[in-house]
Structure 1
Amino acid sequence: MKGSTARDAVLDQLQALMFAVRGRLHQALREEAGRGAPTLTPLELRLLMGLGRRDSGLTQAELVQRSGRDKAQMTRLLHGLEQRGLVEREPDPADRRRLLLRLTADGRALRDTMEARRRRLVAGLLAGLGDDEVQQLGVLLGRLHDNLGPSADER
């Protein structure tokens, strides 16, 4: 890369790393589908993982806000996950007019499997780095994210 600086190379390295990690997640999704798990897109997996972090459930509006996706896209994603038996809607005990989205037993099982795979991926990715280096990396990545500022959807 003639004329390239270390600063220019950082973006290339970040893109290559993101592409490699995404490829590994795609591979894991394909392997789980080969074992009989429902086929998921990476976006559906993110939604499944997010729902799995909140046992009390989330409303569709909360999911839209957290994901940055629009309402129509979220409706389609949730419908697909419901059709495959991974997500269910239940009335909110605090306000029966609201529906909470929760993982079904099958959804929790798939989420747990994919979380274990994600942890193995992270362990391999961070192998050879000390705790201080991992903490420093987290701080630096956070600063890079902050430097981007809000996206158009977040304004």
Structure 2
Amino acid sequence: TSGEDDNVADAIFETVLPRFFADKLPQSKAGCIVAVTDRLDSLVGLFAAGCAPTANTDVYALRRTAVGLIAILQGKGLTLNLRDAVEEVARVQPRKVDEDTKNAIIEFIVRRFESSLLEQGKRVDLVRAVIAEQGENPWRVQSALGELEDLVAESKSLD
């Protein structure tokens, strides 16, 4: 370390986690907070600056940023309302973030989450139903999806 307290050094390192698919997640509370905040700040700031990804380009790796954010929220069981978080981060940006941009950021994160769930083999109809109701809180989506899957499995066993 550069003379930092070990807890501070660990939290600084953890801000970049996960670095790739299936990488470890931040372990410390400080590391989680800073990693989530940093990702939200990048998403809000770059979307506000007009640097949102297009179908062909993602120069600032915002898709990976959103996937990392979701991985932390899911993996650590953190309840975070994306709308509230985006609003708060937008409030401290150096440039104004309009409502359309905030909505686009939330939609972008939710779509990355939906894709992630579908890649995990979750049923499309169940994922979309839960996201329609709980989409702004990834942990609640995960929890509700598990409950819904259990109900569907139970109802099939009764047939």
Q: Which has the larger radius of gyration?
A: 1
TM-score normalized by the length of structure 2: 0.29
TM norm structure 1: 0.29
